[in-house]
Amino acid sequence: MKHLPIVAALFGALAAPTFADTPRMGGTAKVALGADILGTQPGVVRESGTDTVLHHIFEGLVAYDATLEVQPMLAESWEISDDGKTYTFTLRDDVTFHNGQPLTSADVKWSWERWLDAELGWGCTHWYDGSEALKIEAIETPDDTTVVFRLNIPSGLFLAQMSNFQCLPAIAHPDSVDADGNWVAPIGTGPFTLGEWEKGVSVTLNKNPDYAPASGEKSGYAGQRIAYLDSVEFMVVPEPATAMAGLRAGDLHLMVNIGPLEETELGRAANVEVLTGPGLEWSTLLVNVHDPVMKDLDMRLAVAHAIDFEALAKATTRGAVGYNPASYSGQSVYHTDVQKTGYTRDLDKAAELLERAGYDGTPLKIQTSKRYGNMFQNAVIIQSMLAEAGIEAELEVLEWPAHLDNYFQGKFQLSSFGYSARTDPVMNYWSVVGPHEESPAYQWNNEDAYGMTFEAAAETDPAKRQEIFDKIHTMMIEEAPTLNLYDEVNAAAINTALNNYEIWPGGKPRLWGVWLEE
């Protein structure tokens, strides 16, 4: 059967871009990054800023558009077998890599087999190796422009996973590695090439002069990725105040992931425009259920009932959004009244739970960082609310790399954290629930809930998927392995010299399709 677009979430109108009438070629746009990238190999050592940079260098077979429908990118089309287990992709014939070599099916097969090599440590191998039910049993290349993926089971998520933001299965040229298989250079097909990475300072991308854009208008990560700029310089600017000053002075052109305080201050500048819209990222308070204190359910629920989640959300976002108890965006079609059910502040109940837990007054420790301002603000507010409930808490303010590393290793008691955008509830839950012995980053070691995620992944009936998501959410609220706070506001600030920049629900900045005034 022919492919049908899938929609992971429904959104309102996108924020309008700012633009002059006629695109202008040339110039260098400078973008603030809160921290340096972690590497140039997609999905291996990653975080949001690293993903952003590499999405300008690499492309996949398919990509999400601005409405979060899967569209062709390096593939011009695909077909799905009647049994749902064979996906056949036809490649575009106009694509070349940054080294001038044409894209072939052999390159696609090589790239995928590299990402799926268990020894590499690619972040989403588990999606495709059978450890989460779905397994790619074979990748076949009957000719230079055809790639066939054979799966062990039908999947309602395969195309969505292939379009994923965090673990883009990028199509790289084999010359990206040396003779021993070590990664040496990112050779992709995207509109920009890697110019220079001055570690701790900046990452410069240069326009790919031989880039062949996909068909269709620019939309999300899909459509035409036309580079009008000669280069993009991602500047490492850890302090928001420094980035804001640079934006006002014209030394920077773009600052993303801004918080309400920055939004208010930058909104006063005549040469700065603030763009906001709904996003898929979410803030949360992680609870280490393996910690000697927090493994007690009564203790976890006491913390939950000590927090006024609605007030927290309103305070941190300046009233932009409210409490979302679910592990996925309130914009999702699968977010119903069930997902709105969470915790209410009840200090008497919190006191009762603390007594049952035998809490001795030892301060809890909340890890946080200032890489994303809202994480720190959330931690400060939570600390205050816990104190009002008789729970002392101390903040451990870490540098972002240490904060992130502790998350992956499960080295925290409580952690003010946030997750980048996922486009289907299953992907969100797979970030949270799973066997702790396989990864300490799994917050919720519940076999029943974990099994339900696989049911939802294979299910194509929306009503049946909703039933599964409702059950998982109800169980999660009962066990409190993580306390979700609110959906992130997708906000960016641009110097008005940058034209045609727009935000989208995916939240990732895109520096193609934009230009600078003279």
Digit-coded pLDDT (tens) for 324-361: 999 998 888 899 999 999 999 999 999 999 999 999 99
Q: What SS3 state is found at 321? A: coil
Model pTM greater than 0.85? no
Q: How far apart are CA 74 and CA 72, in angstroms?
A: 6
Residues 101-145 pLDDT 10s: 999 999 999 999 999 999 999 988 988 999 878 899 999 999 999
Residues 61-76 pLDDT 10s: 999 998 888 999 999 9
CATH number at residue 60: 3.40.190.10
Same domain, 181 and 285: no
Query: Helical H runs in 177-286?
Result: 240-249, 260-266
Same domain, 106 and 127: yes
Same domain, 34 and 88: yes
Q: How far apart are the first and last CA of the chain?
A: 50
Residue 423 resides in a domain:
yes
Neighbour-count burial of 5, counting CB atoms closer than 10 A to its CB (0-12 exposed, 13-18 middle, 19+ buried): exposed
Q: How far apart are CA 40 and CA 42, in angstroms?
A: 6
Residue-number span of the structural domain to which 369 is assigned: 279-488
Same domain, 154 and 207: yes
pLDDT of residue 3: 34
Same domain, 228 and 361: no
Residue 246 resides in a domain:
no
Q: How far apart are CA 335 and CA 119, in angstroms?
A: 37
Same domain, 49 and 130: yes
DSSP 102: B
DSSP 496: T
DSSP 246: H
User: CA nearest 176: which of 189, 188, 193, 191?
Assistant: 188
Residues 427-467 pLDDT 10s: 899 889 999 888 899 999 999 999 999 899 888 788 999 99
Contacts of 375 (CB under 8 A, 6+ apart): 283, 368, 369, 416, 417, 418
Same domain, 217 and 286: no
Sign for the pseudo-dihedral over CA of 409, 415, 417, 423: positive
pLDDT band (50, 70, 90) for residue 7: very low
Q: How many CB atoms lie within 10 A of CB 390?
A: 14
Residue 156 resides in a domain:
yes
CA of 110: how far to CAs of 60, 104, 173, 175, in Å? 13, 10, 8, 11
Residue 261 resides in a domain:
no
CATH number at residue 371: 3.10.105.10
pLDDT of residue 20: 54
Same domain, 460 and 505: no
Residue 6 resides in a domain:
no
Residue 512 resides in a domain:
yes
Residue bearing tokens 């076999």: 447
Same domain, 427 and 504: no
Residue 457 resides in a domain:
yes
pLDDT of residue 513: 97
Same domain, 315 and 359: yes
**Mean pLDDT, to the nearest integer, of 381-400?**
97
Q: How far apart are CA 336 and CA 342, in angstroms?
A: 12
β pairing state of 202-207 and 482-495: unpaired
Could you tell me the two tokens for 142?
A: 């009957």
Same domain, 343 and 411: yes
- What is the residue-wise DSSP string for 468-486? HHHHHHHHHHHH-SEEEEE
Residue 102, beta-bridge partner list: 96
| b/e sequence 185-194, b meaning 16+ C-beta within 10 Å | bbbbbbbbbb
Residue 17 resides in a domain:
no
- Consecutive H or E run containing 53: helix 48-54
Domain count, the chain: 2
Q: What is the mean pLDDT of the chain?
A: 92
Same domain, 214 and 295: no
